[in-house]
Structure 1
Amino acid sequence: MLLIMNPYYDRKEDVNSMEKYLMAVDAGTGSVRVILFNTQGNEQFVTQSEWTHHEDKRYPGSMDFDIEKNIDIIINLIKEILAKSKINPENIVAISTTSMREAIVLYDENGKELWACANVDSRSNDEVAHLCKLSDTIESDIHQISGQTFSLGAIPRILWVKNNIPETYNKVKYVTMLNDWITYRMTDVISVEPSNGCTTGLFDIKKRVWDPSIAEKVGLRSDIFPIVNESGSIINHVTKEFSALTGLSTQTIVVAGGGDAQLGCIGMGVINEGDAAVLGGSFWQYEYTTNHVEINDHCKVRVNCHAIPNTWQYEAIAFFPGLIMRWFRDTFCELEAFLQKESGESIYAQMEKRARNVPAGCNGMICTFSDKMNYFSWKHAAPSFIDFKFDSSYNKATFYRAIMENAAFVTKGNIEIISKITNKSPESIVFGGGASKSDLWCQIVADVLNIKVKVPVVKESTALGAAICAGVGAGVYESFNEAIAQVVKFEKTFEPNESNHFIYEELYKKWEAVYKVQLDLADQGYTNHMWIAPGL
């Protein structure tokens, strides 16, 4: 079993003599997909399966990741896509992986997985509280090195393993992220890449490598860190064992991928200084790209390694816009679900048509879901719709549009926070993910932000970013810039509407004031926080 990088695989394959495909394995929170792209960046075939991560009833807030069940799902999806596509497996020149960030896997010295959790596991309240008692500044001190806090990082979770299942902790030899685990299963090489690895909070963000001193500071072992390979680096070929399980060729190269948001940015061409993007999925991430990074006491957001060498991102996250929209659909749209079966028109398309007739600002109604990001006191008010009246101006479509406007307000606030750190504001943003399929939502974002919003042809850009990584590693593309020039294309540009922007500027001030009051109510225990970070 290989447990370190094999230097033999630093050469590029001769890929010019055959029809070429690139495979991406995209492991999200709620589902996992396997996608085949051609080298022009066109999605050719896709297989997908939902998966669930269960709470261990003994440990409230836990979200276990089932290693054996979930690798079987991935294996079956690969077998299915090979059967569906009927292509020669040898024509898949390279594979790369991407995943939800923050999900971690622990291994023993033989490479056997000991323990794994999904990204929003929140069982470690006690560990966060203990860390904060060690020092009033420990979290901010670590943030200035790693760009991370205890809210989402691996430190409290690994400490939880140490405190609650010490027999497991004592066997730990390596820690990786979920995308690295998929790569390991394909190659027998345990390694990490910086874009997701840095989200552990155990990296030196500027040097893009593990910082063992952080582990020592928080009471963790400092000898559990595998080799770091940049995204786009060749890891190994598909092993004979994984080939036998899936039908993949042992000639296929496996290339280091990255975190979902960072690879999503690659798939949208957001890799250069000042480039900015919003990825609109279950969560909305605002990403601002820079070639240098500074973290000071005023920085209250996350700082991550980009999946491009010597590049970083300031990141601010909005909680649940996509999940809220799904909740609204499933809870209030029974008639539209019936009509969808009759006509084939989706619930979202029906609701968007109606929401277009609602004036900008929803007649003054606002809602509170996610707040602007404060990485050191990250919590959200109780969900609510506020200031509606009992007349026909406030109907289902009004509430639907208010959800859209709320997401745009949070995004505006997050952009302003990062602009204060960088002293720069984006001239435009690229908007990807499922939300960008909605022309109305795109226009609302443009109107609220008062800047151009560009929408790529490939909306689900994370998988495309993984395919680009695979292609760079295999030599299909000479560089990330060349790959992006070849495969990333834009479908639409939305210009801001000046009159709508004026309405939203006034409503945004109201939203900020109301949100503060709503958050105070939750802090005082009169309502329940929609979400609150461990230890707060």
Structure 2
Amino acid sequence: MNYVLGIDLGTSAVKIALVNQHGQVIDEVSKDYPLYHEKSGYSEQDPDDWVNKTIEGLTEITSRYSGSVSTIEGLSFSGQMHGLVLLDEKQVPLRRAILWNDTRTTKQCHDIEEKVGEARLLSITQNRALEGFTLPKILWVKEHESTLFQQVKSVLLPKDYVRLKLTGKLHMDYSDAAGTLLLDIKNRTWSSEIIDILELPPTIFPELVESTAFVGHLSDEIVRQTGLSHDLKVYAGGADNACGAIGAGVSEQGQTMVSIGTSGVVLSFEQNADKDFGGKVHYFHHSVPDSFYSMGVTLAAGYSLSWFKDVFAKDESFEHLLAEAGEVPVGANGLLFTPYLVGERTPHADSTIRASFIGMDSSHKRAHFVRAVLEGITFSLNESIDLFRSYGKEIDHVISIGGGAKSHVWLQMQADIFNARVIKQKSEQGPAMGAAMIAAYGCGWFESLKQCNDTFLEVEQSFEPIPENVNQYQQLFHLYQAVYGQTKELNQGLSLFRK
């Protein structure tokens, strides 16, 4: 029996899965690292923390592995998107990485749209200029840390830096490059037009490769540290959302996935680059060769629930809170929550908007608030599904992964709010599994990623929408949609008081 490794470099931890040829996870490990918030809206990490924890995790898995390490034949990556890693001529980070959820770059987004032009930017990149993307971060550093910026020799995304330190090879795959706002999506090249307009040095952008591309072997030093084989093959890997989609089986037309982690994602497979959503959702290269995906994002999905738990139920388990919410009827007795804790992405690209509880009264207990948080997160995700449907996409089933797939209460809520069958996978490993599947395909175990899906993935349970709940949620969804417009101006005023 042979094995592959999938490495998922997340926002809070690196997760590593050892997977056999039947798709079974034989061993797994997770290693946390710190997140730095020096100012409101700032979010950074030390790139070398990612590398050190990845090496620790690989070493731990190898130490427990009883077989010959030569049977671990492939490795690939999934990584948090958009994060900016700046390297000097010796490939050493010049500063902490600025992460996807950092919102300091509103001015730079305006500058991009003014200089490039909104229509032209959409034509080239198929995406709007938003604070989360990489390009505004580059311009922020160029403007605020100009001396440091003059030393920049390479721009990478998080997983690319880890791969560089494991292999000595410097690349970026198309699925992650599509999230920089610098990729010409249709022509599959860095946009020389955008680079020239914004006066960036073109040499800092690395060679582009497919997610499934073989990029090299582990360095001698990494082999020594981890105990892995010199012969292990390393494949480029992809953006976490693309890998999460592969790990959930979203690798062909007609498939849609909802992922609830720190952020929340609604992702739908696209065969071609010719769909036009007018910039209302993201449009990126998939890690499945020659394909794409459209994606709506809720910035604070699972984060809204973890925030509530930390503030109001620190000593309670998530399982207890979710069970408590299951005892509360649809609509949480007239209580609504909007999950705008850190702004919002889809359909409101707004870094100033903030969360609200609407309709509180003295009858509400903690369980009502928990239910309202879950419903608010799911309503936000449904805004993306509603938008996709308005453009003619048929969505009759949704694959749910992440934290939202761990609770039957939440899975049924998703089915009722989405008005679609919601599918839970038997072994849901998310992006780490997607990375492992890329490695399995690269090693020649399967002729396609679709064939790998059919072997690795199995449905555990389906949740059908309950008509009565669907009707109630459709009414509540319209009320939820009204909250943004009615609180936008209030939050703009309140933003002056945020430190």
TM-score (norm 2): 0.93
The DSSP-based 3-state class of the residue aligned with 2:74 is strand
Alignment of structure 1 residues 113-124 onto 2, 5 Å = 113-115=93-95, 116-124=97-105
**Separation in 2 of the partners of 1:128 and 1:424?**
30
Query: Residue deviations 1:38-97, cap 9 Å, x none?
Result: 12111111221211132457xx64433323333222211211121133443222100111
Counterpart for residue 431 of structure 1:
400
Counterpart for residue 7 of structure 1:
none
Counterpart for residue 434 of structure 2:
465
The DSSP-based 3-state class of the residue aligned with 1:315 is strand
CA pair 354-160 structure 1, distance change in 2 beyond 3 A: closer
Counterpart for residue 469 of structure 2:
500
1:456 and 2:425 are equivalent in the alignment: yes
**Separation in 1 of the partners of 2:195 and 2:275?**
20
**Range moving further from structure 2, 432-441 or 60-69:** 60-69
8 Å contact from structure 2 (residues 339, 380) kept in 1: no
Counterpart for residue 72 of structure 1:
52
Tell me the CA shift for residue 126 of structure 1. Answer: 4.1
Tell me the CA shift for residue 109 of structure 1. Answer: 4.2
The DSSP-based 3-state class of the residue aligned with 2:44 is coil
CA pair 128-514 structure 1, distance change in 2 beyond 3 A: closer
The DSSP-based 3-state class of the residue aligned with 1:309 is coil
CA pair 320-39 structure 1, distance change in 2 beyond 3 A: same
**Separation in 2 of the partners of 1:62 and 1:516?**
26
1:510 and 2:483 are equivalent in the alignment: no
1:407 and 2:377 are equivalent in the alignment: yes
8 Å contact from structure 2 (residues 14, 54) kept in 1: yes
| Aligned partner letter, 1:444 | M
What is the number of equivalent residue pairs in this alignment?
A: 495
1:41 and 2:23 are equivalent in the alignment: yes
**Separation in 1 of the partners of 2:69 and 2:139?**
42
The DSSP-based 3-state class of the residue aligned with 1:411 is helix
| TM-align CA RMSD | 2.4
Counterpart for residue 10 of structure 1:
none
**Separation in 1 of the partners of 2:15 and 2:383?**
32
Alignment of structure 1 residues 201-350 onto 2, 5 Å = 201-294=181-274, 296=276, 298-333=278-313, 337=316, 347-350=317-320
Alignment of structure 1 residues 143-182 onto 2, 5 Å = 143-151=122-130, 152-182=132-162
CA pair 411-528 structure 1, distance change in 2 beyond 3 A: farther
Q: After TM superposition, what 4+ stretches of structure 1 lie above 6 angstroms from structure 2?
A: 527-530
Tell me the CA shift for residue 529 of structure 1. Answer: 11
Q: What are the ranges of 5 or more consecutive residues in structure 2 without an aligned counterpart?
A: none
CA pair 521-83 structure 1, distance change in 2 beyond 3 A: same
**Separation in 2 of the partners of 1:528 and 1:332?**
26
Tell me the CA shift for residue 323 of structure 1. Answer: 1.2
Residue of 99, 108, 119 corresponding to 1:127: 108
Tell me the CA shift for residue 348 of structure 1. Answer: 2.4
| Aligned partner letter, 1:34 | I
Counterpart for residue 397 of structure 1:
367
Counterpart for residue 487 of structure 1:
456
Query: Residue deviations 1:422-481, cap 9 Å, x none?
Result: x22212111111211111111011111111111112223111000000111111222211
Counterpart for residue 344 of structure 1:
none
Counterpart for residue 30 of structure 1:
12
Instruction: Find the structure with the greater CA-based Rg.
Output: 1
Percent identity of paired positions between Structure 1 and Structure 2:
26
8 Å contact from structure 1 (residues 291, 311) kept in 2: yes
**Separation in 2 of the partners of 1:362 and 1:102?**
36
Q: What are the ranges of 5 or more consecutive residues in structure 1 without an aligned counterpart?
A: 1-18, 338-346, 531-536
Counterpart for residue 353 of structure 2:
381
CA pair 384-257 structure 1, distance change in 2 beyond 3 A: same
